Amino acid sequence: MDLKLSNKLALVSGSTKGIGLAIATGLACEGAKVIINGRSEKSLTDALTKIRQTIPNAKLESFAGDLSDAATAAALVGQFPAVDILVNNLGIFEPKPFEQIPDDDWRRFFEVNVLSGVRLSRAYLPKMKQKNWGRIVFISSESGIQIPAEMIHYGMTKTTQLAVSRGIAGDLCRHGCDGQRRSARPDAL
């Protein structure tokens, strides 16, 4: 399949394993230049090796750092000031009974699962609008709709991701491709 991603720069947060690695590999297979993100140089090296085993000519960049930290996210944006495709995949989960989830866990889950994507989207969206082309994807889960009793704090973040992505999409839809403000009425879009 040709998704016409050659010459597109994609960033996949949390892409050294699991879903993030699979997404990064798929984008590289489609010809995109992909920025791989993980917290350590070792995890990045391992991920780059895995992708290159599958796609020897993959165009890859890397950034080591925890993107739940605002300063680290700003450093990433400083190194890569514009991307065409942003996949907000970074996330953590942990089963824990509700009454045992302390405030610090709620804050940590929100910082990692929600604010990391909010910060990156806020940073990259203006240039996507200027170019009149871009994609922002939040990797949520069924847990955003069917909140798991053993991971309520995780489910809350996944519901929030859905709200953020829908809000961004709605705002962009009202502005249209030419950047002009449109009516919020669905029949006027």
Catalytic positions: 154
Instruction: State the alpha helices, DSSP H only, in the chain.
Output: 18-29, 41-54, 70-79, 103-110, 116-131, 152-175
Quickly tell me which residue has 């991971």 as its tokens: 151
Quickly tell me which residue has 């405030």 as its tokens: 103
First to last CA, the chain: 30
Residue 56 burial (CB count, 10 A) = 7
CA distance 21 to 45: 12
Burial class (CB in 10 A: 0-12, 13-18, 19+), 83: buried
